Amino acid sequence: MDLTKLEEELSFEIVSIKDSEMEVNVSGIDAPLANALRRVMIADIPTMAFDKVVLWQNTSIIHDEVLAHRLGLVPVFADPDEFIAKAAADDFNEHNSIKFKLNVKCTRKTEYKDFKMQDLVNLDPEEYLNHSTIYAGSMIWEPLGNQKSELKCTPRILHEKILLMKLRENQEVEFEIYCSKNTGRTHAKWSPVATAFYKLKPLIEVKGDLNEEEVGT
């Protein structure tokens, strides 16, 4: 491949950027190279994702392993350049990980405290219970070491309205969860994109001169 020629002919234009979508036009490359860029985006760009869950309490109807799987797929907003990759033998620390925690218990609201269960059957649980629906945004970032002052990008849950679980009265969940740095080649949860695809842009050449009569106008 002639890199000098590629550099001269390559053109990269951002068409649009939205909250969760970006469209670009790339000219001057062949389809195999475009596909290589797509694969790099999916598998080789490092991100931060949940890696380990420590469950202290879970009395919901969701089994521990199912809850851990759901948590692992929650996207995290953090700058991976501020962290180092964690080796398998290393502990989670301020240099290689981010910690979130959650501790909630579903309780009955004060105004419904003296109601019998048969009186509540036809009511929406959200009406008479506190913390009956738990969303990803309920997880709280807990800085490790000096992260609060040293990190330029404050870690947070990217989509706070992702449903984690539903609780009923006196059910409780408490856990700590750690994010680490890796790539989508290791697991899809570290992929920075949900999907990446390309399509060929047609090149239309008009040979000769056309006037209005020839084109039927």
- 15-62 tens-digit pLDDT: 999 878 888 888 888 888 889 989 999 999 999 999 999 999 999 999
Structure tokens at 173: 């969940």
Residue 53: what pLDDT? Answer: 95
Q: Is the dihedral of CA 83, 44, 30, 20 positive or negative?
A: negative
Residue 199: what pLDDT? Answer: 84
List all residues 6 or more positions away from 12 whose beta carbon is below 8 Å from its beta carbon: 24, 25, 26
Instruction: Name the maximum alpha-carbon separation found in the chain.
Output: 88
Q: Determine the number of helices (DSSP H) and then strands (DSSP E) in the chain.
A: 6, 12
Q: Where are the alpha helices (DSSP H) in 15-94?
A: 31-43, 64-72
Residue 145: what pLDDT? Answer: 93
- The answer to whether 136 and 162 are in contact (CB under 8 A) is yes
Helix (H, G, I), strand (E, B) or coil at 189: helix
- The answer to whether 61 and 141 are in contact (CB under 8 A) is no
CATH assignment of 46-182, among 3.30.1300.10, 3.30.360.10, 2.170.120.12, 2.40.50.140: 2.170.120.12
How much is the pTM? 0.80
- Residue limits of CATH 2.170.120.12 in the chain: 46-182
Residue with tokens 């009265």: 169
Residue 215: what pLDDT? Answer: 53
> Can you list the residues of the chain whose pLDDT is less than 50?
none
Residue 113: what pLDDT? Answer: 87
41 Rama class: left (phi>0) / alpha (psi -120 to 50) / beta: alpha
Residue 112: what pLDDT? Answer: 87
Comparing C-alpha atoms, which of 69, 22, 19, 20 is closest to residue 49? 69
Residue 87 has, within 13 A of its CA and on its CB side, a CA count of: 2
Residue 79: what pLDDT? Answer: 94
